[in-house]
Amino acid sequence: MLDLFVIPSADRRLIPEGRLSGPMPWVIAIMIFLTVLAAAAGLALAQAAGDVSDELASRATVQIVEANPDSKNRQTQDVAARLRGLDLVQEVRVLPQQEVEELIEPWIGSQELSNDIPIPALIDLKLTRPAAGPELQSLRSAISPLSTTARVEPSSSYIAPVITLIRSLQWTAFGLVALLAIATAAAVIISARSALNTHRETIDVIHLLGGTDRQITRLFQRRIALDALLGGLLGLIAGTGIIWLISSQLSAIGSGLVQSLGLSWYSWLIIAAVPILGMFIAMMTARSTVMRALKKIL
């Protein structure tokens, strides 16, 4: 593999373009830059969706809807006490009335509501395992004798549309990575054909001197692989700088969902491998293109 980047002096004379002097490295740099950003976005969204889903999978909310405040408070305390005695429940927190009103304030305003609209009591539960159907049913069965209006809902159901949106954006980003890989291969094909046309006379001379198609292909393959690697490193550096800038701005927002849009160490390894993958795509595409073109020449 390393001998692909050792360009003999004779080869330099056959392909006189210097490093980063032609358009190919810069085109690859732009493609890798966009690929790094798209891959980082997809990986960050995937991690955020996974973290939020895991966090909410073991949480549930109990709503007690009762118009009479005294009856609602009594039922809330009885239900909370019953839940604390269950092995399934790790933590029980009764939300204060003021906190409940703050939660619904963005939708119905900040005016005094308790006298006009019966605001439900909310109990936040942290469970010892993910809340699937059997777990939720066991909770309902435990509290139904204490409150006929109590409803148990998994916390993940409240944010399910957001998770669906994040998943859609995640796959859109990964789809963009695939499209950029195809565009990179197309750019390499154009570059390889252009180089073949430029050095057509040199290729004919090499053939007359006994050179094989394999030797000629290796010559162009090495040149394009080096251009792709240099361009890929430039794109990686620029893309990493943009990712770091956006990450620092997101961390300053302070929102829980936004702060979860981070990159793990293995995500950074994937991003760091993008230039290598780009070089491999360019090298294999150039090899295939040159071999087919040389067969047509003969």
Predicted TM-score (pTM) above 0.75? no
Q: What tens digit of pLDDT does each residue of 16-26 get?
A: 554 556 788 88
Residue bearing the bigger pLDDT, 97 or 141: 141
Q: Please write the tens of the pLDDT for every residue from 105-114.
A: 666 655 555 5
Question: Measuring CA to CA, how many Å separate 3 from each of 151, 222, 250?
Answer: 69, 8, 43
> How do the domains of the chain map onto residue ranges?
2-53+160-295, 66-148
Instruction: Write the CB contacts of 152 (distance below 8 Å, at least 6 apart in sequence).
Output: 60, 61, 62, 136, 139, 140, 143
Q: Answer yes or no: is pLDDT of 1 > 60.
A: no
Check: CB of residue 52 under 8 Å from CB of residue 163.
Answer: yes
With a pLDDT cut of 90, the percent of the chain lying above it is 16
Q: Edge-to-edge strands of the sheet including 150-154?
A: 89-94, 121-127, 59-64, 150-154
Mean pLDDT of the chain: 79
7 pLDDT above the threshold of 60: no
For 68-118, the pLDDT digits (tens) are 778 888 888 888 888 888 888 888 888 887 777 777 666 665 555 555 667
Q: What is the pLDDT of residue 4?
A: 52
Q: What is the pLDDT of residues 150-203, one digit of tens each?
A: 888 887 676 777 788 888 999 999 999 999 999 999 988 888 888 777 777 777
For 110-140, write each residue's pLDDT tens digit. 555 555 667 788 888 888 887 777 878 888 8
